[in-house]
Structure 1
């Protein structure tokens, strides 16, 4: 009886460790926001791609 209890406890502990080690929750926030800005214009030839920051950011920006 003791061996079965220890086996169950071991399985529960291992499952708990793997659950905590998952990379990120399903709805994790990966929003990129800018906290410093420049007003200088970049030459268009230097821009390869860009994106707008999320509306959740305190200040709008183009990265």
Structure 2
């Protein structure tokens, strides 16, 4: 049984546009991409990016700094 390709809900270009727009606005934004492809941008306080071996897990869990 062959798998058929399906259209991506969002692309790397979509993410780049969202990040670029936030940077040009000069506002720190939290960018959320939902499973249906919605890109939601919300102003937030700047936080340092977590580093270390558990950084990705902490970001996903929402427990990073």
TM-score of the two chains, using structure 1 as the length reference: 0.27
TM-score normalised by L of structure 2:
0.26
Q: Which has the higher strand share?
A: 2
Bigger RCO (CA 8 Å, 6+ sep): 1
Larger Rg: 1
